[in-house]
Amino acid sequence: MPTQIGIENSTVMVFLAITPAGLADALRAAKPHDFVWCGSDAITEGEYAALKRQNLSRFIYELSDRHLAGC
């Protein structure tokens, strides 16, 4: 009989990081079953590949608002 793997009665968090510091905080706070999403402005493609974390996803575009950031 197949074993079903799940996280019943548990809260799953999704962290959205838009800066390198925010990503570092999110990675420290995330539990193994949580997800961390970030933009290309939070981590380089090379750094992302080196981390090899299954719960980390990187968007190919920046998430910061350059207009609000004054850039």
- Percentage of the chain lying above the pLDDT 90 cut: 56
The model's pTM is 0.74
Bigger pLDDT: 10 or 32? Answer: 32
Enclosing domain of residue 37:
32-60
Residue 53 placed within a domain = yes
DSSP structure string for 21-34: HHHHHHHHH--TTS
pLDDT of 7 reads: 56
Residue 46 placed within a domain = yes
Residue 22 placed within a domain = no
Stretch 4-28: mean pLDDT: 83
Residue 55 placed within a domain = yes
Residue 36 placed within a domain = yes
Name, in order, each residue with C-beta under 8 angstroms of 6's C-beta and a sequence gap of 6 or more. none
The count of structural domains within the chain is 1
pLDDT of 52 reads: 87
